[in-house]
Structure 1
Amino acid sequence: MSKIRIEKVEDGFEEARRLAEEEEGIGRKPDGWQKYLIPTIAIAWSLFQLSLPKWLLIDSTYIRAIHLGFAITLVFLNYPLLKKPYFGLKYFAEHKKIPLLDMALALFAAYCALYLMIHYEELVTRYGSPSTMDIVIGLALVGVLLEAARRTIGPALPVIATCFIIYSFLGPYMPDLIAFKGTSLDRFVGQMTMSTEGIYGIPLDVSATIVFLFVLFGAMLDKAGAGHYFIQLALSLLGRFKGGPAKAAIMGSGLTGLVSGSSIANIVTTGTFTIPMMKKVGYPATKAAAVEVAASTDGQLAPPIMGAAAFIIAEYVNVPYIEVVKAAAVPAFASYAALFFISHIEASKLGIRGMPKSELPPFFKTLISGVHYLIPLAMLLYELIVVRHSPELAAFNAIMVMFVIMLVQEPFIAYKDKTPILPAFKQSIINILEALASGARNMVAVALATAAAGIIVGVVALGLGNLITEIIDVLSMGNVVLMLCITAFASLIIGMGLPTTATYIVMASLTAPAIVSVGGMQGFIVPLMAAHLFCFYFGILADDTPPVGLAAYAAAAIAKSPPIQTGIQGFMYDIRTAILPFMFIFNTDLILHNVFSWSQGILIFVMTCIGNFAFASATQGWFIARNRYWEIPLFLSVTFILMRPDQIAIWLGMPHDQRYWTYPIGLALYGVLYLMQRPRVSHDEAQVAAAAQQRRPVL
């Protein structure tokens, strides 16, 4: 029986790794000379990107074209036309070799992507009237880009982009509500492929100049073994507390999420350790997987990196990157604090204790064993926050530190173990090359997502912007709350089939300006930063939203739990994150808008955390004891008072600058709830303990 159970667990790990490999960009695994082709191109791409921050000075349009050229080449070499040989078409589903057709397609796609760079001076002079060749290559680029996006990230984005393309030509024939003047073929090609307003727009620029380096940095950390170190460090710190493995999963995933833009990769890195531990101490498989899903998904919220979208937000809002970090800090860390609280609640409900000290790694020994992983992270934070170098230069310098660490790590271990140093040095070189290849493969999906989303951005720029604002205004009937609900729902639906970055780009292009405009029509001022963060948050939450949340599938594969139930449970944990965007739209203190005092910022953060704790208690049915149904509105009232002191101040007739004096009302109500539940603690704990004793640990 135990052998069968071990085999099932290993099967789950393999399924999760398969999903992670798909996300990482590992499609084909060819044999012979072809197995070196994809890694060689990937390494060349990484070296090209590393040359940009310091010594290679070329026009930004050239950078975008070369970036897309590398990405689209890797797609056609790495991903077959079909995932499985449907109707016996094995040639189009080949995974062990690269067919000649795909090689030819890769070369043609690369030429289409580089056409703007090769003929740049001529194209600039005939932007308004493209030649026949310009039109043919432009349309071919749109076609191969959509096909590459389909192979990489699925059909959702290509389908949406195709609908926008069709709409751009059929606009004059649409019903009055959605009709617009449309476009000509010349103007469409010029916008999409001959300018920086479409495919080669801001999202692709950010992908090419900034995001690549951060993804590469994350790949190098992962290859060096930092993921395992983070989870061991988290276990040594938190493993002894109630529900310790869950809290360690949250901390480990948060640390990994600092430099990882992928929730699935985060789950595979940390979840393979934490999910079995959570099950061992008594968490049901579904809840163990859901905790990891919520922690890994929210890793993209955590400053300073926030996946890829933080840098795109900075470009769209036209503010320094550090302003995005400042705006995102309170909601992100309050969300993580509430997730720690939820893990404590679940442990209390299930009667789960911490792990024995004997089973945990010693803290100081663990800390020292991987302190070298913290050096490049500290370097990155220092460069971004203290010196305030550009994000690309900060990432470059941190990568250089990582190069040194990876170069000496293996020889140092060999020296300690008294084994030959030369083979260890060769292994270091191999690890660095594998990290360079892995970083480039990780970037393929991001590059294709930003380029394909650029089609939608380009169509909107053709004249749809005002029309979309009018449509959203009509649908929401001028109600700001309804407008936000529509935007949130659309983000969740679109995000089910798209990477977070693509979801954010699409929704930010369509709805962020509309949120600001419609709010202004109603006399309600919404900062542009708040509107963009709103779209970003719900794009992230789509990662664990059933029925398509891929993060839930990866965690469920490891835990051997039902994916849909895992996604639902993960979303229930993430509801505490879903309320934050609504709150910071109406109370911009939460994104530190016009807040310049450290003491004021800390006060806002603490109150936001407590308000989120109260909301978690309301949704999870437990505070220090099991909730009574009539206590739930009281917990929600605490949440509202602590997150919307401005509104409470209005109701009480207090001046806006005295709004923080309403905080004691929420704290007093929270204290009353504590005193009300205190007498029930012993009774509920006894019931939980009896139920826990009847359950056998799930191994």
Structure 2
Amino acid sequence: MNGTVEGGAARGPSMGTCRPIADVLACLLTLTAVAWAVSLPRYLGVGFYPQQFFAVVLGLVLPIAFLTLPARRGDDRPRVPWFDVVLAVLSAAAVGYIAVRYPVLINKIFVRPPEIWIPGLITILLTLEALRRATGWALVIIISVFLLYGLFGDIVPGRLQGRAQSWDLLAGYMAFDANGILGLPMSVASTIVIAFILFGVLLGLTGGSNFFTDAAMLGMGRFRGGSMKISVLASGLFGSISGSAVANVVGTGIVTIPMIKRDGYPAHKAAAIEAVASTGGQLMPPVMGAAAFLMAEMLSVSYATVVLAALLPALLYYIALFIQADLEAARLGISPVPKSEIPPARGVLKGAHFIVGFAILIFTLFSLNWQPERAALLAAVSIIVTSLALGYRGKRPALSAIGASLTNTGYAVVEIVLISAASGLVIGILNLTGLSFNLTYALVQLGGGSIILLLALSAIVCIVLGMGLPTLGVYVLLAALVAPALVKLGIPPIAAHLYVLYFGMMSMITPPIAMAAFAAAALAKAPAMSTGFAAMRFGWAAYVVPVLFVFSPSLLLMGDSFHIGLAVITAIIGVWLVSAALAGYFASLLSPTKRGLFALFGLAALVPAGAFSGGVYSDIVGVVGGVALMATEFARSRRGVVQAES
């Protein structure tokens, strides 16, 4: 069989022939998105349906996928088989036909003429095949189950029974309707995501990612456990741009994990803290991951609203991780990073111009209320200008490299666009069959009207569905299947969506399939499962904080200033106490009894005052008891130091 495949591949054109074609398509993909973001068609007096633009984007992505991604993942093919060339041409033709004929055919979906269902069926099948090549089988299988439900939902028993659809109507609806492939996820991927990935690619090209790592090393390298703190800071900064936990692990972990191991940390802990830090980047404003932009669209709120709501939970996540890094270093006796490896401050400060891009991004998003894609493009332009003028580490980007960033961006968004297009299939099935209402009702009934039980069920569903799936696919599934049930019981919509995003993201560090943790384990040469369980301990805050902000929106910066300030203070104290309990160290090693007390007072302090009628008393007990416990430990440690000196 291998001989047959290789023989077929040998009869195809070489990669040297196909790669330049893919490069041109990738560059066109980025330029098309940029032109749409700056409203070039409107300035030229040309009118398009947004779905036509989305179809053009997909029509560029599918040929790129078939020309560059082998049918079997990991194959190193010198030639592109002819069947892949045919699939590339067929996908471009089918989606191109949809783009051109869309205004004429959009009102004929339910008539089901062949000119609608034939290109629709081709587009669905080829999108799923390209998705399989890009991400593997998991998401393809899940989406295929939804499509089968759309065809045979009437035979499903009980409350989940749906309205079955004919295959030709389903094919046309999914390809043409705004609730299908060309729907909301494609809207976000085709505009906002491409602009932000271009921003991230330019940061990497111009040395911005090196600047953030150097700044983290300069800021944290002189303290105990500096290598772990560098990992937390650098991965958080880089992760908020990359939008991918696994990509973040690979991008920063290749530097930080060996550094952490060399300082004396066990390999599995070095990998775990990098995985947790990288995963949290997608929850950290101001950029966050692609899911945050989609959340804003699905909730019909501004991106700034999502960022503000996500800010405090993300800070608590990283505060908990940072404290554990410090306490683990103290417990293990880890020394600071050697001075010879810390970059000079003068050299690092020469890269401060990279901050200008973020300042422009934040100012245009929050003060001028610009659309995210325009804000990202202006920030990207500023990165180019300042880098050409000032450079970093004595280097300035070549103009040819800046031009190549357009192609690199096109390749970087292929997977996200495919996931977004396929996610539209899920949304289309939910709308067409009534599954969304049925599933919401079933979850509410199963929870018995209890918010606590429903939250627990939802968390399990989120982690299970998230296993093995990319971030954007995780969020689309959870936002459509789980979040409506939470909203039904009175939870604020933004709290419900952030809840499912958090628990969906936790699948990245939760065994048995913890993609970010396993990627870090491979880099650290550590046992995968040990790394996964260590990552769960380091990332404990992400399992607790979402439950808290569901019951008290003050942690989402919703409410009056007094209650928000009180929630912030008590939450930080609670995070510190629980982190100490998990590390088994505060000012000195903690006995099992004291670890229990630290955890008990910490959890009590974490509960916001507005969570329930007696919440304020829980806060008082937690804060007063916790502060007294910390003071006692400090005093005991100090006495031990004095006695040792005498």
**Alignment CA distance shift 1:679-1:639 (3 Å):** closer
Preserved contact between residue 335 and residue 609 of structure 1 (Cα < 8 Å): no
* 1:436-467 Cα deviation digits (max 9, x unpaired): 22222121111111111111111111211221
**Map 1:450-529 → 2, pairs under 5 A:** 450-462=420-432, 463-517=434-488, 519=489, 525-529=490-494
1:327 is matched with 309
CA shift, 1:180, in A, is: 2.4
| 1:98 maps onto 2:63 in alignment | no
Preserved contact between residue 172 and residue 182 of structure 1 (Cα < 8 Å): yes
Aligned residue type for 1:620? A
Higher alpha-carbon deviation: 402-411 or 128-137: 402-411
1:78 is matched with 68
SS for the counterpart of 1:342 is helix
CA shift, 1:243, in A, is: 0.4
**Map 1:534-553 → 2, pairs under 5 A:** 534-553=499-518
* 1:302-334 Cα deviation digits (max 9, x unpaired): 011111011111111111111101100100011
| 1:286 maps onto 2:268 in alignment | yes
**Alignment CA distance shift 1:610-1:199 (3 Å):** same
1:379 is matched with 360
**Alignment CA distance shift 1:138-1:684 (3 Å):** farther
Preserved contact between residue 223 and residue 335 of structure 2 (Cα < 8 Å): yes
**Map 1:534-573 → 2, pairs under 5 A:** 534-573=499-538
SS for the counterpart of 1:371 is coil
Aligned residue type for 1:308? A
TM-score in terms of structure 1 length? 0.84
CA–CA separation in structure 2 for the residues paired with 1:95 and 1:143: 23
CA–CA separation in structure 2 for the residues paired with 1:409 and 1:140: 50
2:630 is matched with 674
Preserved contact between residue 61 and residue 417 of structure 2 (Cα < 8 Å): yes
CA–CA separation in structure 2 for the residues paired with 1:41 and 1:406: 27
CA shift, 1:261, in A, is: 0.7
* 1:669-688 Cα deviation digits (max 9, x unpaired): 112221443466479999xx
Aligned residue type for 1:604? A
The match for 1:391 among 372, 380, 402 is 372
| 1:260 maps onto 2:245 in alignment | no
Aligned residue type for 1:665? V
| 1:533 maps onto 2:504 in alignment | no
Query: Quick one: higher RCO (CA 8 Å, sep 6+), 1 or 2?
Result: 1
CA–CA separation in structure 2 for the residues paired with 1:315 and 1:411: 37
| 1:56 maps onto 2:12 in alignment | no
1:697 is matched with none
Preserved contact between residue 185 and residue 421 of structure 2 (Cα < 8 Å): yes
The match for 2:590 among 601, 610, 627 is 627
Preserved contact between residue 123 and residue 130 of structure 1 (Cα < 8 Å): no
Aligned residue type for 1:134? I
RMSD, aligned CA: 2.5
**Alignment CA distance shift 1:410-1:666 (3 Å):** closer
* 1:20-54 Cα deviation digits (max 9, x unpaired): xxxxxxxx996433332222211111111111222
**Alignment CA distance shift 1:438-1:609 (3 Å):** farther
For structure 2, list consecutive stretches of 5 or more residues without a partner in the other structure.
1-11, 43-47
The match for 1:111 among 76, 93, 99 is 93
CA–CA separation in structure 1 for the residues paired with 2:467 and 2:608: 34
Identity %: 33
1:302 is matched with 284
* 1:192-212 Cα deviation digits (max 9, x unpaired): 112111111111111111111
Preserved contact between residue 254 and residue 296 of structure 1 (Cα < 8 Å): yes
The match for 1:593 among 547, 558, 563 is 558
* 1:547-588 Cα deviation digits (max 9, x unpaired): 332222332232221222222211221122111111111111
CA shift, 1:412, in A, is: 10
Aligned residue type for 1:288? A
CA shift, 1:411, in A, is: 11
**Alignment CA distance shift 1:681-1:187 (3 Å):** farther
For structure 1, list consecutive stretches of 5 or more residues without a partner in the other structure.
1-27, 85-92, 415-423, 520-524, 653-658, 687-699
2:419 is matched with 449
The match for 1:35 among 19, 34, 38 is 19
Preserved contact between residue 641 and residue 648 of structure 1 (Cα < 8 Å): no
CA shift, 1:153, in A, is: 0.9
The match for 2:130 among 139, 148, 151 is 148
**Alignment CA distance shift 1:140-1:31 (3 Å):** closer
The match for 1:129 among 107, 111, 116 is 111
TM-score in terms of structure 2 length? 0.91
Higher alpha-carbon deviation: 571-580 or 49-58: 49-58
CA–CA separation in structure 1 for the residues paired with 2:255 and 2:496: 37
Preserved contact between residue 261 and residue 300 of structure 1 (Cα < 8 Å): yes
Preserved contact between residue 204 and residue 450 of structure 1 (Cα < 8 Å): yes
CA shift, 1:161, in A, is: 0.7
* 1:450-489 Cα deviation digits (max 9, x unpaired): 1111111111112112210122123323332222222222
Preserved contact between residue 350 and residue 392 of structure 2 (Cα < 8 Å): no
CA–CA separation in structure 2 for the residues paired with 1:29 and 1:398: 40
**Alignment CA distance shift 1:649-1:450 (3 Å):** closer
Aligned residue type for 2:54? R
**Alignment CA distance shift 1:685-1:255 (3 Å):** farther
Preserved contact between residue 236 and residue 366 of structure 1 (Cα < 8 Å): no
**Alignment CA distance shift 1:118-1:474 (3 Å):** same
Q: Aligned residue pairs: how many?
A: 624
CA–CA separation in structure 2 for the residues paired with 1:175 and 1:455: 23
2:58 is matched with 68
**Alignment CA distance shift 1:366-1:580 (3 Å):** farther
CA–CA separation in structure 2 for the residues paired with 1:98 and 1:42: 17
Preserved contact between residue 625 and residue 677 of structure 1 (Cα < 8 Å): yes
